[in-house]
Amino acid sequence: MAYRALKGTKDVLPGEAHLWHHLEDTMRAVTARYGFREIRTPVIEQTELFLRGVGDTTDIVQKEMYTFLDKGGRSITLKPEGTGGAVRAFTEHALFNEPLPIKMYYLYCPVFRYERPQAGRLREHHQFGVEIFGSPSAYTDAEAISLALTVLREVGIDDLSVNINSIGCEKCRPAYNQTLKDYFAPHLQEMCALCRDRYERNPLRLLDCKEERCHAIAKDAPRMIDHLCPECSEHFSALQESLAALNIPYAIDSGIVRGLDYYTKTVFEIISNRIGAQGTVCGGGRYDRLVETVGGPSMPGIGFGMGMERLMILLESYGKLPQETGRCDAFCIAMGDGKESLQLADDLRRAGIRADFDPLVRSMKAQMRYAEKLGARLVVIQGDEERQKGVVIVRNMSTREQTEVGRAGLVDRVLEMLKGGETNG
């Protein structure tokens, strides 16, 4: 029986891990600069959290969640997005008592959605994301967008489009929903079954149907941004002014409504035109009522999620995937029974040097080949003769020069050679 990874899931193999580290290191560095700290929440939550939070009229809740009963008969769901868990933790641990705003990020957060797998669309994918609690200011929206762009720029991509929209609040949206229904009513018969259902349950979602015939009708629909209440309208202007102040080019796309019900006011997407239909790398928005919805105090929030796998595909299309660097600085050739090389490598490792040896004690030629494969900069050799003299030979793999070093001084000498740039690294 040969097992395969489940459809829509992916392994990260050792030869690919450096690519993920490149993204993660950049994300940690940038978020630190913006004053964010990390949050990690469980992969499983009570299903109810997502029904209430994400919203039970969304595609995610209706079609995509991995939900099951555990042995105690409780309904459990694998995270279908990152915000729910963060908001639950924020509320449960009363983090709102800390100085506001509170800024947190999550990295390599597994997200599960039962989707039709294709390039850039997995059933388990991973998100980097941030959540900011306690600031209603549009400066915060701009800060989040700026952070996302900085991450993308620093991993190597700087020609993405930022699309923004406002979907209003509980004050202005009900009237707009009615305006939308009035607009769509005469067209309903031409629209897909899903849209006819959305018409009753969540008319805003009529705007982002992917079906061509629905899209054609939706594109001339009245825009939320023309029906915002004064507060939302002012907020949307302030966002645009803030983005302009940060020299961030953006476009207004009144079709962005996002797949989660919890958004209010600002919604945004960062997209690439290079990777086709799955071009959205980052999506986010403001959720001023969400904390309250899951049982916390009234507390504004905003966040985004960035798909790590999509980002990887994008980097590849730009030819910006970093090369794997050598993973060994000093390789200790095993001679005789090989125990000496085990000890040599151990001494070097304790001194902080990336050292390795051959536990299989293969032929000298095979070991040299292996050392080269590992990218070893130095090779340490101690044959019988050297052992008797109390020395070891250190060979520089790029210059092929060999030096004899006293066994006791080996660690210091290797450190010196690695630091002194005597080897190419």
| Residue 11: Cβ within 10 Å count | 7
Give the C-alpha separation, 355 to 380, whole Å. Answer: 10
Nearer to ligand ATP, 4 or 116 (CB): 116
Q: Least distance in Å: CB of 321 to ligand ATP?
A: 17
Interaction of residue 53 with ligand ATP, rule CB under 6 A: no
Strand segments, DSSP code E, in 236-336 are 251-252, 264-271, 280-286, 301-307, 330-332
> Judged by CB under 6 A, which stretch of 150-158, 193-201, 276-284, 397-405 contacts ligand ATP?
276-284
CB 58 within 8 A of CB 197: no
User: How far apart are the C-alpha atoms of 268 and 250, rounded to whole Å?
Assistant: 10
Q: How far is the CB of 270 from ligand ATP (least distance, A)?
A: 8
Among 281, 313, 332, 381, binds ligand ATP (CB under 6 A): 281
DSSP β-ladder status, 102-112 and 37-38: parallel
Region binding ligand ATP by CB under 6 A among candidate stretches 143-151, 167-175, 301-309, 416-424: 301-309
**Subset of 121-150 contacting ligand ATP (CB under 6 A):** 121-122, 125, 127
211 binds ligand ATP (CB under 6 A): no
Q: From the list 88, 113, 173, 198, which residue makes contact with ligand ATP (rule: CB under 6 A)?
A: 113
Q: Tell me if 55 contacts ligand ATP by CB under 6 A.
A: no
Considering only residues 203, 259, 296, 301, which one is a binding residue for ligand ATP as defined by CB under 6 A?
A: 259
CB of 253 to ligand ATP, least distance (A): 13
CB of 122 to ligand ATP, least distance (A): 4
CB 6 within 8 A of CB 122: no
Rounded distance between C-alpha atoms, residue 239 and residue 248, angstroms = 11
Interface with ligand ATP, residue 283, by CB under 6 A: yes
The answer to whether 386 contacts ligand ATP (rule: CB under 6 A) is no
Out of 45, 261, 288, 309, the residue judged to bind ligand ATP by CB under 6 A: 309
Q: Does 81 interact with ligand ATP (rule: CB under 6 A)?
A: yes
Count of residues in the chain: 425
Please give the single-letter amino acid code of residue 293: T
CA 376 to chain centre: 32
Residue 203 has φ and ψ, to the nearest 5°, of: -55, -25
* 242 is a contact residue toward ligand ATP (CB under 6 A): no
Q: Is 210 exposed, middle or buried (0-12, 13-18, 19+ CB in 10 A)?
A: exposed
**Which of 207, 209, 307, 314 contacts ligand ATP by CB under 6 A?**
307
Candidates 113-121, 174-182, 347-355, 416-424: pick the segment binding ligand ATP (CB under 6 A). Answer: 113-121
Q: Which amino acid is at 296?
A: G
Q: Which is nearer to ligand ATP, 31 or 127 (CB)?
A: 127
**Contact between 161 and ligand ATP per CB under 6 A:** no
HSE, side-chain direction, 13 A CA sphere, residue 365 = 0
Could you tell me which of 382, 412, 408, 409 has the C-alpha nearest to residue 395? 382
Residue matched to tokens 């629909």: 221
Closer CB to ligand ATP, 151 or 282, in the complex = 282
- Output the residue with the shortest Cβ distance to ligand ATP: 307
Structure tokens at 44: 């499983």
Interface residues with ligand ATP (CB under 6 A) are 81, 113, 115, 120-122, 125, 127, 259, 278, 280-283, 305, 307, 309-310
